[in-house]
Structure formats: C-alpha cells, structure tokens
Amino acid sequence: MIAITPHCGACTVIFPVVKVGPNFRVRVEDNGRPVKGLRVEIGSSQGGGKSVVTTDKNGFALFHGVRPGSYHLSADHDTGIPDGAELEVKLDGPTDVTVSLKWPSIGSVFVRSLKGTIRGPDYLPGQPQPRLSLELLDGSSGRRLKTLQTNDNGEFNFESAAPGLYFLNLKPSGLRDWAGEQITGLIVVFVDRDAPADHLDLDLAWSSCGLSYADRSKCPYSDLQIDQLSGQVLDTSGAAIQDAKILLFDRAETLVERLQSDRAGRFTSTHTLAGTYELVVSTAGFTPLRRTVQVEPAANSTRLSRLTVELGVGGSCSAANTQ
C-alpha cells in the first residue's frame, strides 16, 4: 500500500506550480491529520536567502511579505520524505491562498504500538533472516530516539512509544536486493491508540525507486483452496511476470515444491499434492505473496482450477484467486 522513494535519481518528481500573493498559508497534513512543529521552507529559484516557518498546532505555516519571484516550497527535514510545490509570487497575486502539502509525501502505517514484524524480500518459512538494525526517529524533528535489532524472525518492539509520527530507519544490514546492494530506507509509522491494527506486519520489497513495503494488516487475506499447484503470475496491469519463484512449504516448514514462471507467467507442478501448505510467490521489485493453501486433488481432471497470482509493486498488496 505504501511506497518510499528516498534519494532516487531513477524516480522523477514533478511539483505543482501555485500562484500566490506576498502573503499566503501552507497547511501540512499526514493522512488528514495536521502536522505540528515541522519546518516549512521557501527558497528563491534565482538563489539567495530562504524563509523558514514552523507549522502550528493546526498544521499551518504563515508567510508574510514574500518578495515577487519564483520559489520552491518544501516541507521537510534532514531525515524526512519531502513534499513540495513551485511558487510564483506576484504583488497582485491572490491573497487568500492555502497551499496544501502532504508530509511525509507518502502515507504512514497506522498502528497502536511500535512493535511488530518486518520480513525481508527473500524471507522463507522456517529460515532465519538477517537481523535488521532499526533507528526510531521522531517524525517532526528527525531526532534519533532509540536503536535496536530485529530477531531472527524479523520481530522488534520499541516499548512505550507515545502517540505521534515516527520513522523507522532501516540501516545497512545483511538484507540485500537482487543486485547485491544492501537494502536501506525509511518506514513511516503513525502511532494512535485508536488504530485498528495493534502491531506492525510489513513485507519489504525493493525496486528501482528504492525501498517499499506492504502493510499486511491492510492486505486482503484468505486461505486458498486448490486442486493442483498450477496457474499464472501477473502484475497489476495484467502483464505476465517471467521467472517468478513459486515455493510451497508443508506444515513442518519444509520446502516441498519449487517452480518458476515461464515467459507467459505460467507454472504447473507435476507432483501430486494434498494437504495444507504455505505458498510463497516472489520476484525482484514486487511485493511477495504469502498464503495458506489447502490442496484437495479433484476427482475430475478435466475441471482443474487454476491459480492467478497478482503481485503488487511499490508496496501495494499482492493477491491470489482461483478460477
């Protein structure tokens, strides 16, 4: 559901152009909630000085007497993920203007506590994953609050975290992408005692735009009933995904089947399977799919169902269904 694209030259961001007068307001919000105490900065496109105003309790930063010219507006700090706009300030420009910014520029994971599980892209049942080093950063100031490591199951717990906005900064560790580069980046979390999820449950992915993650509490989950391990792997546009890994684990977390999708995204097992398994479908740059499947061989081999797997990208959920 959520994508992070920090410091990435491969991802182009186009900011909107807003015409304002010398006096205007900027409102910063996160998922509809005002962001208090964040620095909002405007800098002249022609060089020169900068003006910085801190948002009030309602998320507003008020600018007065700005000279005519072109400016870049940003809501950011050294750690954060910025949102911004290009401003054209004119003496006769509109005076009653509120420029709205999202900050962070991506939505946060909404949860009741800062504990949970983070799974790397190559996480497999029954196998330990590299321990991840996490820094807990204050959302408004970027100040480092605590540091800890996940355990072999990817579990962590920042105890007694007060409600508010935070970053989990994933530091260099043994977690690597398909090119062998260490995976780093930021995970944005908003702690609220009324949030529907009581803990974090995240699947990491890695693309050309950087770290992304799927919030499994928002992903639809249901057990699948199939009569054979056969189907197709697609992306969200319906295009076939070649060379996706299809792995099947039994209840003892032992790998019992390993397949790879062909050019058409299709895969078929030649083994006779029956019982309850965990299915993992993954490929570089996409959100992994993890589902419990119940395999019951069909009596009529001419009416076998096929499994369609749709892998999300940019942190969006992956899904599977039978037909």
Tens of pLDDT along 234-287?
Answer: 998 899 999 999 999 998 889 999 999 999 999 999 888 889 999 999 888 788
Q: Whole-prediction pTM value? A: 0.75
Mean pLDDT for the stretch of residues 31-36:
85
Q: How far is CA 28 from CA 36, 298, 321, in A?
A: 8, 56, 40
- For 59-111, write each residue's pLDDT tens digit: 999 999 999 999 999 987 777 777 899 999 999 999 889 999 988 877 789 99
Domain made up of 109-218: CATH architecture: Sandwich (2.60)
What pLDDT sits at residue 301? 56
Q: Give the list of residues 6+ apart from residue 254 with CB closer than 8 angstroms, or none.
A: 126
Q: Which of 17-21, 51-55, 63-67, 284-288 has the lowest mean pLDDT?
A: 284-288
What pLDDT sits at residue 185? 85
Residue where the block lists tokens 């820094």: 135
Q: Which of 16-20, 291-295, 300-304 has the lowest mean pLDDT?
A: 300-304
What pLDDT sits at residue 11? 59
What pLDDT sits at residue 5? 35
What pLDDT sits at residue 299? 67
Domain boundaries, the chain: 2-102, 109-218, 224-322
Higher confidence at residue 13 or residue 306? 306
Q: Which CATH number fits domain 224-322: 2.40.10.10, 1.10.3720.10, 3.40.50.2000, 2.60.40.1120?
A: 2.60.40.1120
What pLDDT sits at residue 114? 95
- Across the strands, what pairs with 214? 203
Question: In the chain, what percentage of residues exceed pLDDT 70?
Answer: 88
What pLDDT sits at residue 180? 67
Q: Quick one: which H or E segment has residue 319?
A: strand 319-322
Mean pLDDT for the stretch of residues 290-301:
79
Higher confidence at residue 210 or residue 35? 35
What pLDDT sits at residue 1? 31
What pLDDT sits at residue 7? 35
Q: Which of 16-20, 135-139, 221-225 has the lowest mean pLDDT?
A: 221-225
What pLDDT sits at residue 81? 77
- Across the strands, what pairs with 187? 168
Q: Please, what is the Cα angle at 124 between 118 and 127, to 5 degrees?
A: 95
Dihedral, CA atoms, 2, 173, 176, 283, nearest 10 degrees? -40
pLDDT band at 316 (very low <50, low <70, confident <90, very high): confident
For residue 2, pLDDT beyond 50: no
Q: Please, what is the Cα angle at 172 between 167 and 175, to 5 degrees?
A: 100
Is 102 within 8 Å of 29 (Cβ atoms)?
Answer: yes
For residue 300, pLDDT beyond 90: no
For residue 4, pLDDT beyond 60: no
CATH topology of domain 2-102: Immunoglobulin-like (2.60.40)
- For 138-164, write each residue's pLDDT tens digit: 987 888 999 999 998 899 999 989 998
For residue 10, pLDDT beyond 60: no
- pLDDT, the chain, mean: 85
Which range of 11-15, 58-62, 306-310 scores highest in mean pLDDT? It is 58-62
